[in-house]
Structure 1
Amino acid sequence: MSDRDEIVEVCTRMAVHADRREWDRLGEVFAPSVTLDYTSLNGGEPATLTPADIVGAWSGFLGAFDATQHLVANHLVTVTGDSAVCTASFQATHVLANRFGSPLWTLGGNYEFRLVRVEGAWRIAGVMMTVVWADGNKDLLALAAQS
């Protein structure tokens, strides 16, 4: 497989493993230290975490939804030696039955993945999410956090 194919694969696996609740496999896509930047959604500052930290947080938060679906497409990849950048479009739908409104909340935007080669395999060392649009019930975030 080419570097580009491997990079697209690992970025796709991040979404697939999270949506399928394959928490034991999710950690495999990350480098030992990962910078997550979700400030376009939540404000604050980017966080640097270990794969175990990410899996723990995402399994608690995303796992509280009835279902999620993260579609990642339009990958553009630039490789420079043992590092790479992959940009991609995303659409992320979150489903949670509730009595206070729509059970759906969907975001659309862009990811910028920063990757490094670790022991011969591409791993995600950074994710920056830029939200471009949203639709549905944003209150699902708070409801999921309470679960």
Structure 2
Amino acid sequence: MFSEIVLVDYTSAFGGEAVLVNCVDLMKQWAGLLSGFDATYHDLTNIKVDHDCDVATVAADITASHFIGEEGFWKISGRYAFELERSNDNWTIRSQTLFWR
């Protein structure tokens, strides 16, 4: 679902800087992080899509819940902004930004 190189921006929640990352490396990072949880649930709602030819923007509300054991719980909510590009017959995500609430 991701372009070969993706701009990932979680600075509103975690600080730091937006980064360009190879999609394979991004999946490895997420797999390493998420494997530490017993369960996760990411709920995207109020999805809005605008597109013009081969480029699209998508906005969605997000609530991500993460569980460790019976007492470990972490939740983050906000809004995602995605930029997508069409390549041949496929759409891929070229950027993902979280606006934390």
Deviations 1:80-126 (A, max 9, x none): 1101100000100010128xxx4111111100010001222111000
Provide the TM-score with structure 2 as the length reference: 0.95
Aligned length: 101
Paired with 1:95 and 1:131, the residues of 2 have a C-alpha distance of 19
Give the match for residue 30 of structure 1. 2
Question: How far apart in 2 are the matches of 1:79 and 1:129?
Answer: 20
Segments of 5+ residues of structure 1 without an aligned counterpart are 1-28, 133-147
With the length of structure 1 as denominator, give the TM-score of the two structures.
Answer: 0.66
Residue identity in the other structure for 2:97: M
Query: Is residue 2:47 matched to residue 1:78?
Result: no
SS at match of 2:32: helix
Offset, 1:31: 0.7
Identity within the alignment, %: 33
Name the SS for the 1:64 alignment partner.
coil
Higher helix content, 1 or 2: 1
Larger strand percent: 2
How many angstroms does 1:63 deviate by?
1.4
* Structure 2 gap ranges (5+): none
